């Protein structure tokens, strides 16, 4: 009986040392892993950052389009920058600059980037609604700007809710 218990004890010791070795190996692998938590604690924050990056790309396109209008790369001779009204020229230069500044801030997901972007969104909506002679007063542009603003506010609210105060 003592022979069997000695054999069982040796087998148990071997099994325990194998488990311990596997546990140490797993801990060393865990130490060199990405370090990201596997839970979805910050899902709304990630969605907000993705939205901000998409808006950054859109802002780059809009800013480059306005610069193309200023430099004459788009439009014909009748639509040349010099032939437009002073209000149109001022608004176009304003958006050419501020859209690109907003794009940088949005891509970096900085607070000032969101503020500058919100300024561009509200400015475009105001120009379209209050000064229809500048860009034509398109309600479609106002609706798109309002949808983007609502999406940002909803995502920012949800991201703020998942972070403790």
Q: Read off the pLDDT of residues 35-81 as tens digits, 9 standing for 90 and up.
A: 554 456 789 999 999 999 999 999 999 999 999 999 999 878 888 89
Helix (H) or strand (E) holding 81: none
Higher pLDDT, 4 or 34: 4
156 close to 148: Cβ distance less than 8 angstroms = no
Percent of the chain residues topping a pLDDT of 70: 75
> What is the model's pLDDT at position 36?
52
Local structure of 3: helix, strand or coil: helix
Other residues' Cβ atoms within 10 Å of the Cβ of residue 69? 21
In sequence order, which residues have a C-beta less than 8 Å from that of residue 61 and are 6 or more positions away? Answer: none
d(CA 144, CA 162): 27
d(CA 30, CA 24): 10
d(CA 110, CA 106): 6
In sequence order, which residues have a C-beta less than 8 Å from that of residue 113 and are 6 or more positions away? Answer: 52, 56, 102, 104, 105, 106, 107
d(CA 53, CA 105): 10
Q: pLDDT tens digits for 13-37? A: 666 666 676 666 655 544 454 555 4
Mean pLDDT over the full length of the chain: 85
Range 147-153 average pLDDT: 96
Rg (CA), the chain: 29
């Amino acid at each position: 009986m003592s022979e069997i218990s000695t054999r069982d004890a040796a087998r148990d010791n071997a099994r325990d040392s194998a488990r311990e070795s596997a546990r140490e190996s797993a801990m060393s692998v865990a130490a060199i892993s990405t370090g990201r938590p596997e839970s979805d604690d910050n899902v709304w924050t990630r969605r907000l950052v993705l939205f901000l990056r998409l808006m950054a790309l859109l802002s780059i396109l809009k800013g480059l389009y306005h610069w193309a209008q200023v430099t004459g790369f788009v439009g014909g001779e009748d639509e040349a920058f010099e032939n437009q009204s002073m209000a149109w020229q001022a608004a176009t230069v304003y958006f050419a600059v501020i859209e690109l500044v907003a794009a940088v801030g949005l891509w970096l997901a900085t607070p000032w980037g969101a503020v500058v972007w919100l300024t561009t969104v509200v400015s475009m909506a105001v120009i379209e609604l209050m000064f229809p002679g500048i860009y034509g007063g398109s309600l479609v542009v106002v609706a798109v700007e309002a949808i983007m603003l609502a999406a940002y506010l909803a995502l920012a609210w949800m991201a703020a809710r998942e972070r403790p105060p």
